[in-house]
Structure 1
Amino acid sequence: MDMEVHGIWIDALRLIVTLLLVVKSAQTLEMTADKIPFLVAVNGSTVLLPCKYSSCIGIENLYFRWQFNDNGTMQTVCDGTIPSEGVVPKVKMYKDRFDFVGMNKENNISILLWNITFEDAGQYTCFGRNPKEYNKNHSAVYELIVVSELSVVDNTLTIIIASAVGGAVALLMGYMLLKNFTLFVLSKLEEKNKECLVTSSGIDNTENGLSGSKVDSKPKPAKQK
């Protein structure tokens, strides 16, 4: 009996731990950069470095920070604190040519980089910490690739393949239409030939006095006495 009670207590504790883990995972803060975590941009252009945060239970004094990995040395680009949802954060910028454009709209804490150079290429980390989740923190990494010019993709082969496939499809459709039209004409000709055969057969029978032919129904004249 004691063993059964002990087993029940163990199962109950396991269930409680599982529930706590589920609740904790549901409350976890998450920072996301973008669906595609990298960007190829031309030297001298302006780029947006995206970042959003999410939390199932909301935020309270959420601290965030953008950092740039400069050959292994993490340099802070900007940081700030968001008191609660919908409140515009006070952001402090540490590097030139960067602007904070998130304004906490739709949990957005993105930054803008003006007139990029080749030295700006590298990894940018968006970090967040939420005290409401016992200082749970999370990071998202975004890669910036700077090039002198964007490469032009040669679509000649693609156009040739598409033209060939389109021509083959058109030819097949033309063949199917011609085939169906030919079968239709042949069926009509066959029906007409059958009608002609039936008609001609009736005419022949009439001329030869066969069954179904016309018979002279006039009575023969009586003999004179």
Structure 2
Amino acid sequence: MEARSAVIQPRHGCPHPPHLKSSLLLILLLGVWYGQALEMITGKIPYLEAVNGSTVLLPCKYASCIGIEDLYFRWSFNDTDPQNKLCDAVIHDETSEPNVKVYKDRVEFIGHNIEQNVSILLWNITFDDGGVYTCYGKNPKEKGRYHNATFTLVVVDQLTVVDNTLAKLIATCVGGALGLLMCYVLLKNFTLWVMAQMEERNKEGLITSSGIDNTENGLSGSKSTPKPTPKKA
């Protein structure tokens, strides 16, 4: 008898093509890279209204999960052109302070690298200083990608006084309503207590009156009726 060898045929599935695996790997690497990217931060409320002639702080901090190396930063005003800048510097590492160059009058750098702070002050602002200020950062560890955050400054003659008359009126009405409600509750409880006391006294009066009637009528519980004297034989 001729022996036949069993041949196992491979199953026909849908193997992942090589380019799909490469794409997934690239997306993963990009996600990790963006998650570690440099971030410039100008605060939760990047907006300020200031009076003409005052001094204002323009806040900016940087953050990077992979650290910095020769981080370049600059402040610009109303323009994204690198030539139109207020100040700039290079921060070599996390422990060194930058040698900041200031290009405009009334601008002062007040940041500290140990706090990752690159904020500036504007002295004696004028109406011409109103506009958008941009804080840039570029970390060579990220192949020189630029990151930025903006801060808007509005210069006014005087600060707007907020009219809180309506808020006071609402608070007064709410307080009055709560006061009336409390008075109503107290009055209701007092009335119920008085009525309970009166009802209790009425019950006591009825019991006393019932006892007196029973005594007068010779009923059980009243005074005993004297028995007649027995006759002698």
Question: What TM-score results when the alignment is normalised by the length of structure 2?
Answer: 0.86
Q: Does 1:61 align with 2:70?
A: yes
Q: Percentage identity across aligned positions?
A: 57
* Local SS of the residue matching 2:16: helix
Q: Does 1:93 align with 2:98?
A: no
- Structure 1 CA distance, aligned partners of 2:99 and 2:179? 63
Correspondences of 1:45-194 after superposition (within 5 Å): 45-69=54-78, 75-194=84-203
Deviation at 1:9, TM superposition (A): 5.3
- Structure 2 CA distance, aligned partners of 1:89 and 1:163? 55
Q: 1:48 to 1:8 in 2, by over 3 A?
A: same
Mark the runs of 5 or more structure 1 residues left unpaired by the alignment: none
Deviation at 1:34, TM superposition (A): 1.4
Q: 1:220 to 1:167 in 2, by over 3 A?
A: same
**Which AA in structure 2 matches 1:141?**
T
Deviation at 1:12, TM superposition (A): 4.5
Runs in 1 of length 4+ with deviation above 6 angstroms?
none
- Structure 1 CA distance, aligned partners of 2:82 and 2:73? 19
- Residue from 217, 221, 224 that aligns with 1:208: 217
Partner of 2:38: 29
- Cα deviations across residues 115-137 of structure 1 (Å, max 9, x unaligned)? 00011111100000011122232
Deviation at 1:190, TM superposition (A): 1.4
- Structure 2 CA distance, aligned partners of 1:102 and 1:51? 8
Indicate if the aligned counterparts of 1:41 and 1:146 stay in contact, CA closer than 8 A.
Answer: yes
- Structure 1 CA distance, aligned partners of 2:17 and 2:230? 129
Q: Which moved more, 1:196-205 or 1:38-47?
A: 196-205
**Which AA in structure 2 matches 1:110?**
S
* Local SS of the residue matching 1:35: coil
Q: 1:134 to 1:121 in 2, by over 3 A?
A: same
Deviation at 1:156, TM superposition (A): 2.3
Q: Which moved more, 1:47-56 or 1:161-170?
A: 161-170
* Local SS of the residue matching 1:162: helix
Indicate if the aligned counterparts of 1:68 and 1:74 stay in contact, CA closer than 8 A.
Answer: no
Q: Does 1:17 align with 2:44?
A: no
- The structure whose residues are more often strand, as a share, is 1
Deviation at 1:152, TM superposition (A): 1.8
**Which AA in structure 1 matches 2:185?**
M
Deviation at 1:58, TM superposition (A): 1.4
- Residue from 171, 177, 198 that aligns with 2:207: 198
The CA RMSD measured in Å over matched residues stands at: 2.4
- Structure 2 CA distance, aligned partners of 1:62 and 1:135? 9
- Residue from 207, 229, 232 that aligns with 1:224: 232
Deviation at 1:10, TM superposition (A): 6.2
Indicate if the aligned counterparts of 1:38 and 1:144 stay in contact, CA closer than 8 A.
Answer: yes
Indicate if the aligned counterparts of 1:43 and 1:147 stay in contact, CA closer than 8 A.
Answer: yes
Indicate if the aligned counterparts of 2:133 and 2:150 stay in contact, CA closer than 8 A.
Answer: yes
**Which AA in structure 2 matches 1:68?**
F
- Structure 1 CA distance, aligned partners of 2:82 and 2:63? 28
Q: Which moved more, 1:183-192 or 1:110-119?
A: 183-192
